[in-house]
Amino acid sequence: MRETFVATTTELLAEDPRTALVLADISADAFQPAMRRHPDRVLNVGIREQLMTGVAGGLALTGLRPFVHSYAPFVVDRAYEQIKLDLGHQDAGAVLVSIGASYDGAASGYTHQSPGDVELLDTLEGWTVHVPGHHDEVPPLLREAARHDDRVYVRLSLQENQHAYADSTRLRVIRRGGPLIVAVGPMLDPVLEATRDLDVTVAYTNTPRPLDAEGLRALAGGEVVMVEPYLSGTSARQVAEALGGRPHRVLHLGVGREEVRRYGSWQDHARAHGLDAAGLRGPISEFLW
Amino acid sequence: MTVTALPADALPSLIARMTGDEKHAPSSYSTLDVLWVLYDRILRIDPAAPDEPDRDRFLLSKGHGPAAYYAVLAQKGFFPLEWLDTMADWDSPLGNHPDRKNIPGVEIGTGSLGHGLGIGVGVALGLRAQGYTGSRVFVLLGDAELDEGSNHEAIAYAAATHLPMTAIVIDNRSATHGWPGGIAARFPGWITAVVDGRDQEQIEHALARRHPDRPNLVVATVEPKWG
């Protein structure tokens, strides 16, 4: 996904003089060609993530469309107040694009992991959040984000699904059956595998914010399982609001809040958080039957 | 910017109309002369068209104590003088910290310290990228505000990229631990001037300087903070 992001953003910089990119050293090498061609719009501020976001706010105030990029913990966690004030409070837009997700930086430890990024953005107004499940889903999301001035977060990950579902900003039914399971982004393949012999409906989205409330109401019966690649329960409020007024039970599965002080790979951490197929099957079966 | 005949000493009476932010009164008065010189003699901003893309930009980073800012903006015609009487009321556009969405002429909403300089760097870069090389960017900070580490990210980057922008630091010795070696020493790579923050001729001379390839710092010293 990172390579796709670099390629698409490089194209956007060439196509649209409104597009700008602000980096804090991460991926700077990959953007060297674009930086040489557009030195005024490809800006590497160094390891200064607060400034990276502040600069994006300033660029937006002059009419440019800034893309901002780094690891998720540095884009969101570290610069949270700049996101809140230098973008949101100014009513300035930007496209934040992160890599690292919840535990892609497994071997680097907790400092390089951001399971809470989407929940942090949920405290703020007006953010669209894209969590692509396949690298082919990334270009259309970035291109759409370049067309307007709203606030957009694109969360890239190493974990990908086998197939791309480009038209998935709303809930898209992948398998139709009994109770609804919603898989966000790269959680689709583990969910499909975990439930391959279960009578469930599996719906997919790469855009959890705004959550497709209409689609959720249409698809949900009395029971819903939400499977998300960030903190468990992040979408609890959105689901509750969407299904308010009708009896329902919801199981939220996602990354746990306890810090896993182990290294390894993202697959190891997915297993530790119960987000691999084997780990998902148990709680889903127990909840639904 | 239209130069008016109003002397700066008329502004305190306008500030006195605002009673909503007494705890920040020293902070507000500390900026008074600098703000007047900026809006009366330096900035190219038309109050009737405050969104022109090639205008100069003034960013009040030190959002505390905006009464002087409001008084100057009102006197220059950005909004009605009557607004001053309502500061911090439920229906007032004027809060104890300025909000760009509520007040014509206000470029950024501030209050939490340490945000204006980073945004100002972005504004300067955005103007340069779009060819508005004649537009100037000024950011006003307080000396205590420099305690915020985010400022130093912006200071270092502006110097490294030779960004033509101006930071004005009002020094009323309110930083808790002071600035040993002087404030200018915290801006390596910037062209610096230290002026009497009550001497409008000195202020004008310092702010009128243009350096196309270096950031510019003006430290305006005023009486120490009281109260």
Q: Residue B196 above 50 pLDDT?
A: yes
Residue (of A208, A205, A223, A216) closest to A241 by Cα position: A216
> What is the per-residue pLDDT for B224?
86
pLDDT classification of B226: cutoffs 50, 70, 90: low
Name which of B107, B118, B128 is nearest A54 (Cβ-Cβ). B118
Work out whether the CA dihedral B66, B71, B74, B75 comes out positive or negative.
Answer: negative
Residues forming beta bridges with residue B58, ordered by sequence position? B138
Mean pLDDT of B208-224: 93
pLDDT classification of A263: cutoffs 50, 70, 90: very high
Which residues, 6 or more positions from A159, have their beta carbon under 8 angstroms from its beta carbon?
A101, A104, A186, A229, A266, A270
Asked if B1 is an interface residue toward chain A (Cβ–Cβ < 8 A), one would say no
Name which of A20, A50, A85 is nearest B129 (Cβ-Cβ). A20
Q: What is the pLDDT of residues B70-122, one digit of tens each?
A: 999 999 999 999 999 999 999 999 999 999 999 999 999 999 999 999 999 99
Q: Is the ipTM of this complex over 0.90?
A: yes
Q: Residue A149 above 90 pLDDT?
A: yes
pLDDT classification of B23: cutoffs 50, 70, 90: low
User: Is the Cβ pair A58, B112 closer than 8 Å?
Assistant: no
User: Is the Cβ pair A59, B126 closer than 8 Å?
Assistant: yes
What percent helix, strand, coil does chain A show, rounded to 5? 40, 20, 40
Mean pLDDT of A186-190: 98
Q: Residue B25 above 60 pLDDT?
A: yes
> What is the per-residue pLDDT for B16?
87
Average pLDDT of chain B?
92
| Preceding amide of A210 cis, omega within 30 | yes
Asked if B154 is an interface residue toward chain A (Cβ–Cβ < 8 A), one would say yes
Residues of A in contact with B121 (CB under 8 A): 51, 54-55, 58
User: Is the Cβ pair A58, B121 closer than 8 Å?
Assistant: yes
**Cβ–Cβ < 8 Å for A202, A261:** no
Mean pLDDT of A75-83: 98
Three-class secondary structure of residue A100 per DSSP: coil
Here the tokens at position B84 are 């001053």
Total-model pTM: 0.95
> What is the per-residue pLDDT for B179?
87
Q: Residue B1 above 80 pLDDT?
A: no
C-alpha angle B106-B69-B26 in degrees, rounded to nearest 5 = 140
Q: Residue B34 above 80 pLDDT?
A: yes
> What is the per-residue pLDDT for A46?
98
> What is the per-residue pLDDT for B3?
47
Integer Cα distance of A246 and A240 in angstroms: 10
Integer Cα distance of B26 and B225 in angstroms: 6
Integer Cα distance of A243 and A222 in angstroms: 9
Name which of A48, A58, A86 is nearest B125 (Cβ-Cβ). A58
**Residue B202: which H helix or E strand, with range?**
helix B200-208
Q: Residue B2 above 50 pLDDT?
A: no
> What is the per-residue pLDDT for B180?
86
> What is the per-residue pLDDT for A289?
86
Instruction: Count Cβ–Cβ pairs < 8 Å, chain A vs chain B.
Output: 100
Q: What is the pLDDT of residues A51-60, one digit of tens each?
A: 999 999 999 9
Q: What is the pLDDT of residues A204-256, one digit of tens each?
A: 999 999 999 999 999 999 999 999 999 999 999 999 999 998 999 999 999 99
Mean pLDDT of B10-36: 82
> What is the per-residue pLDDT for A25?
97
For residues B89 and B8, which has the higher predicted lDDT (pLDDT)? B89
Name which of A59, A85, A89 is nearest B122 (Cβ-Cβ). A59
Q: Residue B45 above 60 pLDDT?
A: yes
Runs of H (alpha helix) within chain A: 2-15, 32-37, 49-61, 72, 80-82, 117-121, 138-146, 188-194, 213-219, 236-242, 266-272, 277-288
pLDDT classification of B188: cutoffs 50, 70, 90: very high
